[in-house]
Homo-oligomer: A and B are copies of this chain.
């Protein structure tokens, strides 16, 4: 039975892969087993955030020194910009190692899959929803996760529209979901999230049509985390869940935060994983927590628990930056540190103003 390994490693800059290099040198990180690297980098997390590309280029240079080019290309590199508030820039390296781990019983399982290449006119529409739903099912099968309730997080990287892609579609007489490239990112993230929701039975397929995507905030997945990038036309999917077909000392659970300070569901997830979590995690318990991943956003109502917030009115700081700093504080207050993977842009990912939160920990 395979087993998953999760490394949480610090970075001093977006191109600082020295912690990975050291772990490889020490034999604790096996580059050949790596299926994904997530990076929380210190850019603005918005349009002109080049820390993500810089991090990916640096990671590829590192891995190229250890494994073959096609193996490097097979790794999912998921960079999320923005370490506002006290957030600590860090890497999450996910390995799927062949062979049994001493620890048995249902364990953290990982599966990856991708859709076919989408056409520009499919982005942000039900065609994308359906393609993602099918690929999530495929990734679950690869991970050996039988039931939807055993899936706890689905990390997705999906395409966006560019001026060129819009023109190419028009040349074929097709029209795209939007002519605005920035808006296409939200629509693609949202359609991907709804694909997860369909695959996991959270939303009925027939409740979704093109007009609902990006608009109907009552439709959401409590386990999807999606980001859009210019470099691909397929949708890449990584499913994290629990499976009896895996061994290992890691487990995963999740919570849905109803808003940015809805920490009690996260505390409940921690308790289900055997943490005490009455107040802030103790130092011992912190060592057992491997990773916390969460989506954050400002509520579109301009209200948080009936009080006004100003995140959407601030023309100096993007609301996504406000939201990351704030949710980081709320969760760091619970777990006792701020190396948390807080990501913005939560269309159809959790309710309006809230978001899914995954907890990965060593078994109790």
Contact residues of A with B, CB < 8 Å? 10, 12-15, 42-44, 46-51, 53-54, 57-58, 61, 83-90, 260-261, 263-264, 267, 278-280, 298, 304-311, 313-318, 321-323, 325-334, 336-339
Contact = CB atoms under 8 A, between A and B. Distances in A.
Contacts of A88: 304, 307-309
Identify the interface centre among A10, A12, A47: most chain B CB within 10 Å of its CB. A47
Contacts of A46: 315-316
Contact of A338 (B13, B84, B305, B328): B305
Contact of A54 (B10, B54, B264, B311): B54
Contacts of A58: 57
For the complex formed by this chain, how many copies does it contain in all? 4
Contacts of A338: 261, 304-305, 307, 309, 326
A274 to B, nearest CB: 18
A44 B61 CA distance: 26
> Which 3 residue pairs across A and B have the least CB separation, nearest first?
A329-B329, A85-B326, A46-B315
B57 A310 contact: no
A260 B13 CA distance: 23
Contact of A261 (B260, B307, B317, B333): B333
Contacts of A309: 83, 85-88, 338
Contacts of A264: 279-280
Contact of A317 (B304, B317, B339): B317
Nearest to A10: B308
A89 B308 contact: yes
Given A329-B325, A329-B328, A304 B86 contact: yes
Nearest to A163: B302
Contacts of A330: 329-330, 332-333
A167 B280 CA distance: 35
